[in-house]
A and B are shown apart, each in its own frame.
Chain A
Amino acid sequence: MKLYLKSGRVIDPNTGKDESLDMLIVDGTIEKIGKKLSADKTYQVVDLKEKIITPGFIDMHVHLREPGYEHKETIETGCASAAAGGFTAVCCMPNTNPAIDDESVVRYVHDAGKRVTKGLVDVFPIAAATKGRKGEELSPIAELAQAGAVGLSDDGAPIASAGMMRLVLEYSSMFGLPVIQHSEEPTMTKGGVMNEGFESTRLGMPGIPPIAEELMIARDIILLGYIPNAKYHVAHISTAHAIEHVRRAKAEKLHITAEAAPHHFTMIDKSVESFDTNTKMNPPLRTRDDVEAVKQGLKDGTIDAIATDHAPHTIDEKEVEYTEAPFGIVGLETAIGLSITELVEKNYLTLYQLVEKFTNNPRRIVGLPQIKIEEGEVANLTFIDPNLEWIVDTNAFKSKSKNSPFNCWKLKGKAVGIMNNGICTMV
């Protein structure tokens, strides 16, 4: 396949490019980049004027649900959703059944991704930090690393015991795997279904206090200080105070990184008053001040990456009483739209900075090689129309599940295609 990509704006933080360039791609490799290239008739022309070309986006926090929960999502449908959302790679969390706490499951998930997408979307498993995610015994971390895991986490659950976290940090430091913590002090959040605040008082709902997130991160930062080679990453950070702890830890040069999900810089806890269970996730929607802190954290670099925490659940599972509904919403297909609408349009991030949050930053955190947009490199690209105004239609989602609170929202910015391993979805 020969492609002539014309007049796209290439934004590549790895080579520092941010300019309008033409590209010639032959059989999945970038043959030529430059201004005003020409190509013969054997090339298919794709006009990318006004559109952006970036290294392939990666979502480092996704729940693919396979093996074990295929009624919610499969690796195939999850990757289709990722591709539709503009991602060429995802890191999937280990709360499957069986959990990804064994090399066979790591290999299964990784290979399934390759097989069902034919290489279009790369699936990088994040393995369980403890056996069965129970928080009691270390999982076989060396084996998991060798099989291809790119991180360790017990997500949906925190690594609750300080003693266990210390062991995980020490052991993982031998293999360079980041420990991704779902930060929640579980003894404070039992029964909670929404942020503990004025809104939860008004609605009479049991609350998940912000201090539960803050405490866990503060504790882990102290632990991290004693284990210099360990890498610690805060999953879905949501509260102002927690972000401040990360900021200070970074100033002290600790090896700590953080990600935020689009719903945490878009929606607030007042939305729960509709009792729509698509406002229920963990960490929950927080207050206006927290939302502002997330945006500022992204702006000043305290928060390195945007990751959706894509958590599919079926309609029957979600259409129940609020307190009974499972936590989580899907996010792959609205991530770019929400990010551009809330962050770029409102001047918190430039497009260049936004690209970093979805490309080189997350790849660096999970130790994946960077994608360079250069002659001779494999074409691993995301194509975005940053000006496209569109209305979210959850029925059109490629994901098997439609649990999103953004249905009918008007967003600006959408991926119009991706390219990876010789396959391009735009043609």
Chain B
Amino acid sequence: MNLQSRHLLGLEGVSKEDITLILDTAESFKEVLGRPIKKVPPLQGKTIVNLFFESSTRTRISFELAERRLSADVVNFAAGGSSVSKGETLKDTARNIEAMKIDMVVIRHSSTGAPHFLSRVVKANVVNAGDGEHEHPTQALLDMMTLREKYGTLDGLRVCIVGDILHSRVARSNIFGLKTMGAEVSVCGPATLMPRYVEDLGVKVFYKLEDIIPHVDALNVLRIQLERQKSGLFPSLREYHRYFGVTKEKVDRAPKPITIMHPGPINRDVELSSDLADGEHSVILEQVTNGEAVRMAVLYVLGTSN
């Protein structure tokens, strides 16, 4: 019942069985989260370090809660920017972790491949909480859990990821995971924010929301980062909202109601209108709860494996 790997570095190449195992285990943990005492003992005595080189409050808190609820001992390391600018190299940080006998590392880093590098240098289990623009596997897992809860299955489900696909690790992990589980994935966004060759990942590409909305069950709306606008990749937030913002008028044109997802935090009325974010078809808050359950499941499965 173990995962095929000692680490969760990404969803590319992770089998359907492994993803299903995590999602099924996450369901059990959702029940734990409904109890008055949300704590269970399986990771008692294990030490987990949260190595967050990129600042992130939500993801770090989510992981920390998951770790503590599994009774693990938690250490937080928050560093702004890359380790190089701090003086200590990632390699030395890794060696220190080894020397302190830490069992698991949850790492978020602005450089693609940092978790893979770490997994080669330390004996601890490594969980990728986001590396550069590459992958953010637990986010995609919680997205899939939410969709599976709503629709019963991911097989054949039609999902469109909307926004800055080029810079999005959430998009990439979702593409890899959803495709493995048999979903039909499409992406939609401005051409300057769309990676070339993305069709070769097996997704359909759209540049207009109106073209994909009639053919989709769920929209996963990505946050548009203000830095992208500053680097000139698209002209203005107003233009972005007008053409690519997910709004009620656009969504109402669909034959059936569309499920609205967002990894958070939302730029209200930029990429997603407030009424949709708070509306009856939004599962954004479930995503957060499921995030807890999924992270507990991942830590549990890796932490109790051999």
Contact = CB atoms under 8 A, between A and B. Distances in A.
B73 interface: no
A319 interface: yes
A323 B112 CA distance: 7
B117 A197 contact: no
B135 A204 contact: yes
Could you tell me the dominant secondary structure of chain A's interface residues? loop
B134 A323 contact: no
A47 interface: no
Contacts, number: 63
A316 B111 CA distance: 17
Contact of A201 (B113, B114, B197): B197
Interface in A164-191: none
Given A275-B117, A321-B114, A205 B134 contact: yes
A320 interface: yes
Nearest to B110: A323
A275 B114 CA distance: 8
A321 to B, nearest CB: 3
- Most central of B82, B83, B84, B132 by chain A CB within 10 Å: B132
Given A201-B201, A321-B82, A321-B113, A316 B89 contact: yes
Contact of B200 (A201, A206, A316, A322): A201
Interface in B133-183: 133-135, 169, 172
Interface in B67-97: 82-84, 89-91
**Residue among A203, A205, A206 having the largest count of chain B Cβ atoms under 10 Å:** A203
B192 to A, nearest CB: 13
Contacts of A205: 112, 132-134
Contacts of A304: none
Nearest to A191: B231
Nearest to A202: B201
Going nearest first, the 5 A-B pairs with the smallest beta carbon separation are A321-B111, A275-B113, A204-B134, A204-B133, A198-B197
Contacts of A200: 195
B111 A322 contact: yes
Nearest to A272: B113
Contacts of B197: 197-198, 201
A260 B262 CA distance: 47
Contacts of A204: 112, 131-135, 169, 172
B122 to A, nearest CB: 14
15 contacts: A198-B197, A198-B200, A201-B195, A202-B12, A202-B172, A204-B112, A204-B134, A204-B135, A275-B112, A275-B116, A275-B117, A321-B84, A321-B90, A321-B109, A324-B82
Interface string A312-347: 000010011111100000000000000000000000
B276 interface: no
A319 to B, nearest CB: 5
B112 A322 contact: yes
A196 B196 contact: yes
B118 to A, nearest CB: 10
A323 B111 contact: yes
A402 to B, nearest CB: 16
Interface of B: 12, 82-84, 89-91, 109-114, 116-117, 131-135, 169, 172, 195-198, 200-201
A324 B84 contact: yes
B133 A324 contact: no
Contacts of B195: 200-201
A196 B194 CA distance: 13
Contacts of B131: 204
A312 B90 CA distance: 21
Nearest to B176: A202
Contact of A197 (B82, B89, B91, B196): B196
Nearest to B198: A201
Contacts of B201: 201-202
A258 B195 CA distance: 31
B225 to A, nearest CB: 15
Contacts of A203: 112-113, 134
Interface string A207-225: 0000000000000000000
Contacts of A316: 89
Nearest to A198: B197
Contacts of A197: 196-197
Nearest to A315: B91
Contacts of A275: 112-113, 116-117
A321 B135 CA distance: 15
B89 A322 contact: no
Nearest to B195: A201
Nearest to A209: B196
Given A205-B134, A320-B89, A322-B113, 5 more contacts: A201-B197, A319-B91, A320-B91, A321-B84, A322-B117
B196 A201 contact: yes
A325 to B, nearest CB: 9
Nearest to B194: A201
Nearest to B173: A204
A324 to B, nearest CB: 5
